[in-house]
Amino acid sequence: MTMERAVAPAQRAVDILGGDVSESALKGYLDGLPGVDAVGLEQRAAGLGTRSIKTSSKKWALDRIIELIDLTTLEGADTPGKVRSLVAKALVPDATDLATPRVAAVCVYGDMVPHAVEALGAAHGDPDQGLVSVAAVATAFPSGRASRAVKLADTRDAVAAGADEIDMVIDRGAFLSGRWGQVFDEIVAVKDACRKTDGRYAHLKVILETGELNTYDNVRRASVLAILAGGDFIKTSTGKVSPAATLPVTLLMLEVVRDWHRWTGEKIGVKPAGGIRTSKDAIKYLVTVAETLGEEWLVPHLFRYGASSLLNDVLLQRQKLASGRYSGPNYVTID
């Protein structure tokens, strides 16, 4: 299945660095990346943020946004019942319009994975085929403050329970201290822990927590590091830190992915998460992806929105297109 590309942990780094995957080699490579022109980046993002789409294309855009959402609940008060309700909404986002597409995935804590898998039933599978994946946050999300053994056990438990995707957090303390080899090794180890009994891998999304990385240069370095270590996706944020996803940071990550693709021919996914709450904002990201990487990236295995409240706004906008008037919030389910 598309969702389960098997990239051997660290193989990319071996290929790029010529077999020397040492701390000094990583540091030399990452330090050699060109600096980010912050003014230029923010101007490009601002320009893309003003692009509009034709009214005739708006329904397509809204439907595509739904198909790219990781519908999320990550609260300490989550229960099996809440997860079952989330899955019900993922499968039938709008009970008044059964033609509404399904979301790409539901994203939950690891201990909620069995409940999500059970609730999905036969609809559990590859979102590129119209099914719904189960994503689990792991590695001591959101802080990442735990021993590596705990992080790997967290990952293995979620995969064994049926998670198709793992959203891990990097050790930002280690990264900001310049211990890039430690961050690299941990991503490699988590990727290895994503291996299933049949030899396939759960899809690995690497959360950079860009709001804590302080500079655009650090975001670029962390993005490249995550790709080198075997990440299938690079993800902006946990949604628990402010700022979360921003258009300039997401554009920068998309440009890293674009350059990687031009260099290697390999496609990496991008997931902005946190703070994208309205259709208007989501369309800005959609346009930015299309302009930077092409519409071929607007598929579930290459682009996702991490969101909890975005879906309701998109549904209200769809209803307005159909009826010509805005529905009240009572016309969508409460998350």
Among all residues, which ones are annotated catalytic? 167, 235, 271
Token duo for residue 268: 């990496």
Token duo for residue 95: 């009970």
Cis peptide upstream of residue 34 (ω within 30 degrees of 0): no
Q: Please report the DSSP string for 252-290 in residue order.
A: HHHHHHHHHHHHH----EEE-BSS--SHHHHHHHHHHHH
Name the DSSP class of 9: T
Tell me how far the alpha carbon of residue 138 is from its chain's centroid: 13
- Strands of the sheet containing 269-271, edge to edge, are 269-271, 233-235, 203-207, 165-169, 133-137, 105-109, 69-72, 305-307
Residue in 105, 176, 170 with CA at minimum distance from that of residue 142: 170
